[in-house]
Amino acid sequence: MGTEFVQLSLTPILIGILAAVACALPGNFLILRRQALIGDAISHVVLPGIVVAFLLTGVISAIPMLLGAAGAALVAVGLIEVVKRLGGIEPGAAMGAVFTSMFAAGVLLLEQTDTSSVHLDVEHALMGNLESLVWLQAEGWHSLLDPGMLATLPDELTRIATVCAFVVVLTVVFWRWLKISTFDEGFAQALGIPAAALGLGLVVTAAIAAVAAFDAVGSIIVIAMFICPPAAARLMTNRLERQVGWSVTFATLSAVLGYILAGYGPLWFGAQGAVSAAGMIAAVSGIILGLACLYGPHRARVGVARKEGA
Amino acid sequence: MSAIVGPNGAGKSTLLKAALGIIPRLSGEVHVFGETIRNARARIAYVPQSASVDWDFPTTVLDVVQMGLYRKVGLLGRLSGQARVQAHECLERVGLEDFANRQIGQLSGGQQQRVFLARALAQDADLFLLDEPFAGVDAATERAIIGVLKLLKDDGKTVVAVHHNLATVRDYFDHVFLINVRRIAEGPVETTFTTDNLHAAYGGRLAATHLTELAVIDGAR
Amino acid sequence: MNLFVDALFLQAGYNAALVAIGAGLLGFAAGASGTFPFLRKRALIADAVAHATLPGVGLAFVVMVGFGGDGRNLVGLIAGSAVTAWIGLLLIEWISRRTRLAEDAAIGAVLGVFFGVGIVLLTVIQTMSAGRQAGLESFLLGSTAGMLFQDATVIAIGGSLAVLLTWLMRRPMTLVAFDSDYAAALGYDVRRIDLLMMGLVMAVAVIGLKLVGLILIVAMLIIPAVAARFWTDRSTSMIWIAGGIGGASGYLGAVLSASAPAMPTGPIIVLVAAAIFMFSLLLAPDRGVLAALFRHRGFQTRVHRRQGLLALAARHPIREAYTLRLLAREGLVRPDGVPTDAGRAQAAKVTRDERRWDVAREIYQDAGLTGRYDGLTPIEDVFTADEIAEFDRQLGPPVTVRGD
């Protein structure tokens, strides 16, 4: 646990944790609002958003990418709403039609432009590359205290840290509004809470978390991070505060365990090399959810029998 | 003709659904005409409460009535011209023959209820189970439905309906089951549908809303 | 452009022709078997099922290589992907039935986790195969390079089976999607039919992996069905229309992709399907946006006509020029505003219907129909003959409108 750990493992683990937490927080509300699949839609439209941002600016840099992804999420939500209203189509199918089309457009654009000079390819976008986000300049734990060395930390870490902080602040500031409007949207509106804007804000926040996490884990595995930790947390408690706490714990646990298993797991089996850390994080979060489904104290639905009766 | 009567939450609809195997039973067996439900199913027609239906579904009124024939024709069987004629007849019996080609969502609540009755008629069953057939329908439809049901009775069919309007029990039914989670009373309307039994079933819940209905009942006795 | 025409008539080379035919067949199968999941409002389960194929592809590859075979055998990979997709499907069903989590959360969890596991397996294979490219990444977005006759055969056979089963099971599936309680009362096993419905989707997803890829195959399962809904009010016709739309997008997409460079087949097919969907959304009769606009226009006309006739009946002068023109065109009034005989008859009818509507509104306080209590729809379209007779009984004998 010396210099090598700081150089190779510290930043990926930190990025993994921050990404998982940033996704899990909005995920809690998406699940309670029965909008879990909005996470699915968002993660698919991040790709076209980033491609368009790249085409417009010609560079791969954080701000345009974040804006592009957030914009794409807004466009997707708008289109889904339009298709739902104009066509009278149920939300799931409307979502499926919109986000797959946007994703296809993104892939097409990417293939049509010459992106060989920059680090933007479809596989990377889908699978993520957590392992490559290392801090080679570090000389040991003491580098964490050296401002000059800190400046050499990978950009991705600063970015995800900022976004994670942003998400935490938003969650804290809008806590009561989110809680009320998630529970009873009509009541929230009666209180004068702009529930529709809040819902849209939630989606945009989720999109921003998704695009920041996208560097690390790719656009599909983000879905697991949106859903698995909050879903497992949902089965642990009946109180929203505790649920959010559990979800953060689960997210952190998935990130740490997933990274360790991916890096060292194959060695334990006598195999060479490592496997995808992002994939492993998703797998661990899935196992946590599975355990929660089997043993979580609040796993059963309340009043199932009564609901089915008349 | 029998009514299943009881307060909200007494398990009236649940009783029907469990009997039909729509929701799983914890214990007990269901026998119909001396056979297990599995063997007797072809002789039972069910008219559900409309809650479980997708009104935007791409299907016409005639299609819905023909659904009653699905079990009979099986997977491969063609719905012959005769089946079409039969479906039209059933629609005629509920007074909807001019609406055969409408999409189901374009009908009013009462008309939709009539369509489901027509679908049950198409099944040509011996036992008709109806879940609140008069809930949310207009007076004309209620008259039309009760007319059809009385004809069924005259044909020797058995009709069992979940019913919540105490005021009309006497006019419509011959036999009544009073339940509130458990069975309270059962028997011919004249001897069973009494204020005492109603109090036993409804308890303290036989409140102001029911008083007028009770007055009607007492007046009829 | 020439290349496009060549490709359209299968003259652009063996591989392009094979791809076009395969994509067309796949599209047809996807459209047809996607119809019922859409009607059951469970379209997005297809997304999870498709993503859940990835670990199966990886596992099948490892197993086949382990037995000394060719890891890229398509039938083997399809079998493997079907296994994990089925597991994913059962897990979704189990989670949403046994826990308080809603189906959407279960879908998302299975989708993300299975895909993650699949990526792990892909990296395992990369280190394992020691330099030999497995090329399994092409299953993500599909690849038409090196499509074999064998692959097209797999699609043709698998697709036909899926379409055949969809058609055979159309009645139980219609029942379950329309009214699952009634289906259960008839003795159908709703859970098994649901699984069959999604099993068909899974079958199409696995045979489409190679061509379209597991991320976009869901589009072919959803979009044609959604588009088809605009063109029919019958579920059985919907199967064939969705199949046709899917087939057309598959074929056209493959042709387009063959006729220009840097045009990946999967995304192009999806975009063609999306274009057909847009076309249906805007232009379909009845349910399309344009049709709705025309209906609004027609509604306006009917309002003017009715107000005009009511004015005639009440012997008020008609002041609005548009109303007057409208009635004159139908020969109901003379240009100076005096009603003709036909006009008087119509006015009497409208007045009577108006009073019938008054009675109707009193009798039926039915939320489902209030939207159409506009007094404009001919009353015979909304009510049955016995219902109208009931109104007339309450109204008394008809009135006549006298001319001056």
What per-residue confidence (pLDDT) applies to C202? 93
- Residue A258: CB partners within 8 Å, gap ≥ 6? A16, A277, A278, A280, A281, A282, A283, A284, A285
**Contact across the interface for A310 and B13, Cβ inside 8 Å:** yes
pLDDT digits (tens, 9 = 90+) for B195-214: 778 877 777 655 545 555 55
Task: Look at strands B158-162 and B2-5 and give their pairing.
Answer: parallel
Instruction: For residues B157 and B124, give the distance between their C-alpha atoms in angstroms, rounded to a whole number.
Output: 10
pLDDT digits (tens, 9 = 90+) for C113-148: 999 999 888 888 877 765 455 677 778 888 776 678
Q: How confident is the model at residue A219 (pLDDT cuts 50, 70, 90)?
A: confident
What per-residue confidence (pLDDT) applies to C213? 87
Instruction: For residues B194 and B207, give the distance between their C-alpha atoms in angstroms, rounded to a whole number.
Output: 16
Q: How confident is the model at residue C373 (pLDDT cuts 50, 70, 90)?
A: low
What per-residue confidence (pLDDT) applies to A154? 80
- CA torsion sign, A141 to A147 to A153 to A156? positive
**Contact across the interface for A100 and C277, Cβ inside 8 Å:** no
The shortest CB-CB distance from C43 to any of A96, A224, A300 is to A96
Select from B60, B62, B61, B116 the least CA-distant residue to B84. B62
Asked if the structure places residue A277 within a domain, the reply is no
**Contact across the interface for B9 and A88, Cβ inside 8 Å:** no
| A262 interface with C at CB cutoff 8 Å | yes
pLDDT digits (tens, 9 = 90+) for B69-99: 887 777 666 677 788 888 898 999 888 888 8
| A20 interface with C at CB cutoff 8 Å | no
What per-residue confidence (pLDDT) applies to C367? 45
pLDDT digits (tens, 9 = 90+) for A117-156: 555 566 666 777 777 777 877 777 777 777 777 777 887 8
Asked if the structure places residue A195 within a domain, the reply is yes
- Domain of A124, CATH number, reads 1.10.3470.10
Select from C279, C231, C285, C233 the least CA-distant residue to C252. C279
Mean pLDDT of A295-310: 59
Most confident of A75-89, B53-67, C21-35: C21-35
The pair of three-digit structure tokens given for residue C158, joined into one six-digit string: 């698998």
Among C186, C287, C359, C393, the strongest candidate for a mutation testing the B interface, having the largest count of B CBs within 10 A, is C186
Q: How confident is the model at residue A308 (pLDDT cuts 50, 70, 90)?
A: very low
What per-residue confidence (pLDDT) applies to C400? 57
**Contact across the interface for B54 and C363, Cβ inside 8 Å:** no
Write out the H or E segment, with its range, that includes residue B2.
strand B2-5
For chains A and B, CB pairs below 8 A equal: 17
Cα C42 to Cα A90, B158, C27, C319: the distances in Å are 10, 38, 19, 54
Residues of chain C with Cβ-Cβ distance to A273 below 8 Å are 127
CB atoms within 10 A of CB C25: 24
* Mean pLDDT over the full length of chain A: 83
- On the question of pLDDT at B1 being above 90, the answer is no
What per-residue confidence (pLDDT) applies to C374? 59
**Which residue range is the domain that position A95 belongs to?**
3-218
Q: Is B184 helix (H, G, I), strand (E, B) or coil?
A: strand
Q: Is B103 helix (H, G, I), strand (E, B) or coil?
A: strand
Q: Is B176 helix (H, G, I), strand (E, B) or coil?
A: strand
**Contact across the interface for A88 and B23, Cβ inside 8 Å:** no
* Mean pLDDT over the full length of chain C: 85
Mean pLDDT of A303-310: 38
Task: Among A124-128, A275-279, B142-146, name the one with the lowest average pLDDT.
Answer: A124-128
C-beta of residue C250 within 8 angstroms of C-beta of residue C234: no
Q: Pick B109 or C28 by higher pLDDT.
A: C28
Among chain C residues, the shortest Cα distance to B123 is held by: C186
Task: Enter the pTM of the model.
Answer: 0.82
- As a whole-number percent, the residues of chain A with pLDDT over 70 amount to 90
Select from C200, C215, C156 the least CA-distant residue to C26. C156
Instruction: For residues A270 and A291, give the distance between their C-alpha atoms in angstroms, rounded to a whole number.
Output: 28
Among chain C residues, the shortest Cα distance to B92 is held by: C384
In CATH, the architecture of C2-287 is: Orthogonal Bundle (1.10)
Among chain B residues, the shortest Cα distance to C361 is held by: B138
Mean pLDDT of B139-162: 88
What per-residue confidence (pLDDT) applies to A258? 92
Instruction: For residues A174 and A195, give the distance between their C-alpha atoms in angstroms, rounded to a whole number.
Output: 11
Longest CA span, chain A: 69
How much is the ipTM here? 0.89
What per-residue confidence (pLDDT) applies to A199? 87
Mean pLDDT of B164-173: 83
The pair of three-digit structure tokens given for residue C322, joined into one six-digit string: 């548009």
C-beta of residue C228 within 8 angstroms of C-beta of residue C39: no
Angle in degrees, 0-180, between the axes of helices C14-39 and C190-212, rounded to the nearest 10: 150
C-beta of residue B193 within 8 angstroms of C-beta of residue B172: no
pLDDT digits (tens, 9 = 90+) for C63-91: 888 887 777 788 888 999 999 999 999 99
- How far does the CA of residue A85 sit from the closest CA of chain B (Å)? 14
- How far does the CA of residue B97 sit from the closest CA of chain A (Å)? 28
Q: How far is CA A152 from the centre of its chain?
A: 25
- How far does the CA of residue C156 sit from the closest CA of chain B (Å)? 23
Q: Which chains touch B (3 or more CB pairs under 8 A)?
A: A, C
Q: Is B46 helix (H, G, I), strand (E, B) or coil?
A: strand
| A304 interface with B at CB cutoff 8 Å | no
What per-residue confidence (pLDDT) applies to A37? 87
- Domain residue spans of chain C: 2-287, 290-395
- Residue A47: CB partners within 8 Å, gap ≥ 6? A103, A106, A107, A110, A122, A125, A219
What per-residue confidence (pLDDT) applies to B77? 67
- How far does the CA of residue A154 sit from the closest CA of chain C (Å)? 24
Residues of chain B with Cβ-Cβ distance to A308 below 8 Å are 14, 17, 23
Residues of chain C with Cβ-Cβ distance to A94 below 8 Å are 226
pLDDT digits (tens, 9 = 90+) for C379-390: 777 777 777 787
Most confident of A168-172, B96-100, B139-143, C66-70: A168-172
Exposed, middle or buried: residue A22 (CB in 10 Å: 0-12, 13-18, 19+)? buried
* Mean pLDDT over the full length of chain B: 80
The shortest CB-CB distance from A308 to any of B23, B49, B162 is to B23
Among chain A residues, the shortest Cα distance to B132 is held by: A310
Write out the H or E segment, with its range, that includes residue A267.
helix A240-268
What per-residue confidence (pLDDT) applies to B75? 64
Asked if the structure places residue A60 within a domain, the reply is yes
Q: How many domains does chain A have?
A: 1
Residue with tokens 């299609």: B63
Most confident of A5-9, C211-215, C307-311: C211-215
Asked if the structure places residue A240 within a domain, the reply is no
What per-residue confidence (pLDDT) applies to B101? 86
- Residue A171: CB partners within 8 Å, gap ≥ 6? A25, A26, A178, A244
Cα B11 to Cα A24, B16, B162, B176: the distances in Å are 41, 9, 10, 15
Asked if the structure places residue A274 within a domain, the reply is no
- Residue C334: CB partners within 8 Å, gap ≥ 6? C328, C340
What per-residue confidence (pLDDT) applies to A116? 54
**Contact across the interface for B58 and C238, Cβ inside 8 Å:** yes
| C286 interface with A at CB cutoff 8 Å | no
What per-residue confidence (pLDDT) applies to C402? 53
